[in-house]
Amino acid sequence: MIKKYILFLFVLPLITYAQTVEIESSIEPVLDAYGETSFSGLGEYEIFLDTNTGILDKPIIVVDGFDPADGRDIPGLYSLLSFTGSMGAQNLADLVRDEGFDVVILNFPQYLRLSDNSLLNIDAVTDTNGDMIIDEADFPLGSTLIDGGADYMERNAMILVDLINTLNADKVGDEELVIIGPSMGGLISRYALNYMENQALDHQTRLWISFDAPHHGANVPLGFQHQFNFLGFGLGDGLNVTQLQPIVNGLLKSPAARQLLVDHFESHLASGSEVDFDPAKLLPEAHPFKAIFDASINGLTPTGFPQNTRNVSIINGSGIGAPYQAINGDNIEPSFSALLLQDLPLPDAGPVTNITADITVKLTPFADQQDVISDISVAGFLFGFPAPLINVEVNAESPLFSNGVDAASGGLFNLGAFTNDLGTDPLVLGFIDALKIDRFNFIPSVSGMALEITANNEINWFHDIDLGDPGSTGDVLNSTPFVNWYMPDGNEDHVQLTEQNVAFALTEIMPETLSNTAFENENTLKIEKNPILNELVVLTASPIEEATILLVDITGKIVYNRDFDSLNSRTVIPLNLDSGLYVLHITTKGNLNYRTKLVVK
């Protein structure tokens, strides 16, 4: 392993510091099945010590997800942990650092693989031609650009393995790690932990949080995939929308996208064509890379998930199957018209003038039905006579066992991430203005929960999620590899932090506060439900005389304080509190105490 310190601030006790460290993995992943030469990967991480001791002793690793061209640097990743709740703007990293935890953020930058197989961070490339831009003209001869944020997940997982080993060697004390994997970072961290257990490497990790991670795959509507590819490359010289080409080459054709998407446009292409769909390939079809990755990650442990950690999940998709909405507020259904554009003016092409385009995009249809998902018609005038130029119609079919994935509930991807950088070309602006949806289902709820509901590899994206309460043995419709979870009722933006899911995360990250041993021996006391809504119910095996119940919010403010003459077998306490995380204190006249974390929904 190679560590290169880019910035180092001397560390003294009680002083918080941050350092950016390059880390080159010591393990080369085996990528032969992809036809890829194996080599080590390059990452970078930064440590943000807790605000109490300033000593690295309770590391929490946050692993970056899908990020082509490294659009999020480490400060950007830290800021993504921000959320707004009843107490205003807050940040999850700040909250856990105040509780004594250290936050370590792992980023996957762009880097160069040089001709001698050494690696060079793109930030270290110099402007050799003096044009004030770092581009291919400045790259060393024979080098290859690797886009770490969209690279093979196995290679990034090996970087995480080395980071885990480094932190376990450098930390003070024996506190085990917490790993949070947002989005693709959930799969990278799952792979790393699986690999370490497979190789009998001690990862010393007590808790793994999967945050809206695509365990059964991710989704980009196939109609949009076709449109981006055809409009970018299929219209012909002078007409191609070149602004769309980076979306195709840098995002949709990236190794990670090929590993992740449940329906990938390249698998629908006609033989020998880069833009035309095969009319016989109507059913959803992933890129071959997805099956390779799935077999690899699932083959490392008996369940395909880490066995020596507490595994919990947070998703942003609806846990009750609620639909998401179009721009006008309509509920999204299969075959929904996502874009309808008529008479879009295009540049003249030689003798052909007054060229216009009609463009339609629909979401994939209802189960066992076909529908047009992409339609492009381009026409103009040649010497004053109408001249049809392009007429492309793409159909798709949904399988018998599920409606099309596009309309399912899930963590939502904001289309602005595609369109914000496309410029102000009238053609692009016309395309954007014609959109009927501004978000689409990116991480289906059943994927984020890794629901074990499949037969013959069939996944119903509209499956009625019924998991019961965590730890229950009741009659439920499906099962999950996670022992605890948070699922909102409505669909939220992908990897959006809210006061509710942050409170859930904090209950998992912060170990349960132990009660006084004598109290535990003399009384069986517990909370009937947690999370709660508008009442707290305290259960006791025998009456407790002269007790005080205190609730403190995460800022340390006392929000409830009451003395009770006694607590009986079931004491109901009405509450009217904002949603969030609280610490419950119950003390008695003999100074016996019970403390636990309490979540208010």
Domain boundaries, the chain: 2-211, 222-291+328-441, 512-600
Residue 522 has pLDDT above 70, yes or no: no
State how far the Cα of 237 lies from the Cα of 346, in Å rounded to an integer.
12
Residue 555 has pLDDT above 90, yes or no: no
For domain 2-211, the question of CATH label 3.40.50 is answered with yes
Question: Over the stretch 396-417, which tens digit does the pLDDT of each residue have?
Answer: 999 999 999 999 999 999 987 7
Tracing tokens 């004053």 back to the chain, one arrives at 384
Q: Which residues pair with 377 in a beta bridge?
A: 358, 391
Q: Which of 117, 94, 95, 114 is nearest to 38 (CA)?
A: 117
State how far the Cα of 516 lies from the Cα of 32, in Å rounded to an integer.
56
pLDDT for the residue 472? 62
- At residue 583, the 3 state secondary structure works out as strand
Do the Cβ atoms of 393 and 375 come closer than 8 Å? yes
pLDDT for the residue 473? 54
539: confidence class by pLDDT, cuts 50, 70, 90: confident
Residue 227 has pLDDT above 50, yes or no: yes
State how far the Cα of 211 lies from the Cα of 497, in Å rounded to an integer.
10
Asked, colleague to colleague, whether 2-211 and 512-600 share their fold, the answer is: no
DSSP string, 529-561: -SSBSSEEEEEESS-EEEEEEEEEETTS-EEEE
Top-level CATH class of 512-600?
mainly beta
Residue, of 219 and 139, whose pLDDT is higher: 219
The residues, ordered by sequence, that sit 6+ positions from 293 with a Cβ below 8 Å of its Cβ are: 153, 154, 259
Question: Over the stretch 312-342, which tens digit does the pLDDT of each residue have?
Answer: 999 999 999 999 999 999 999 999 999 999 8
Rounded mean pLDDT, 261-279: 97
Residue 373 has pLDDT above 70, yes or no: yes
Rounded mean pLDDT, 128-141: 80
pLDDT for the residue 596? 81
